[in-house]
Amino acid sequence: MQDPTSYLSSDRFTLCEEDFNDIDLKTKFDKILAIGLFEHVGNLTKSFQKLASMLKDDGKVLIHIITTTLPYNITHPFINKYIFPNMRVWNYDVIPEINTDLKTINRWYLN
């Protein structure tokens, strides 16, 4: 992001603040941090494909995602109304099943 008026301005990174479904970047990246993104997408398979397409061949991505160990994808009415509208909490074990485009190096689950 190269905006001289922003305190986040830097020539070392690109900050994208837009709908992930609509993003169309021509640049490939060495590293991507996806924080708080996948709770708000409806199709994880397509989203992982898109994320993989944004990486250089030897690129790395860190994905931070809120998951559950319960058997179903859930949301709580309070969280949906006041904290993360339209959030989806994915099952922890579903992520590696649908991710065919990114190589998983490590997985952590904190409760």
Domain-located, residue 84: yes
Domain-located, residue 17: no
Q: Which residues contact 12 (CB under 8 A, 6 or more apart)?
A: none
Q: Do residues 40 and 88 lie in contact, with contact meaning Cβ atoms separated by under 8 Å?
A: yes
- Write out pLDDT tens, residues 66-81: 888 776 666 677 877 8
Residue 96, pLDDT score: 83
Residue 1, pLDDT score: 46
Eight-state DSSP code of residue 8: T
Domain-located, residue 87: yes
Residue 69 domain boundaries: 31-98
Residue whose token pair is 């070392």: 12
Residue 57, pLDDT score: 92
Q: Count up the domains in the chain and report the number.
A: 1
Residue 72, pLDDT score: 65
Domain-located, residue 58: yes
Domain-located, residue 3: no
Domain-located, residue 111: no
Domain-located, residue 76: yes
Positions in the chain whose pLDDT score sits under 70: 1-4, 7-9, 71-75
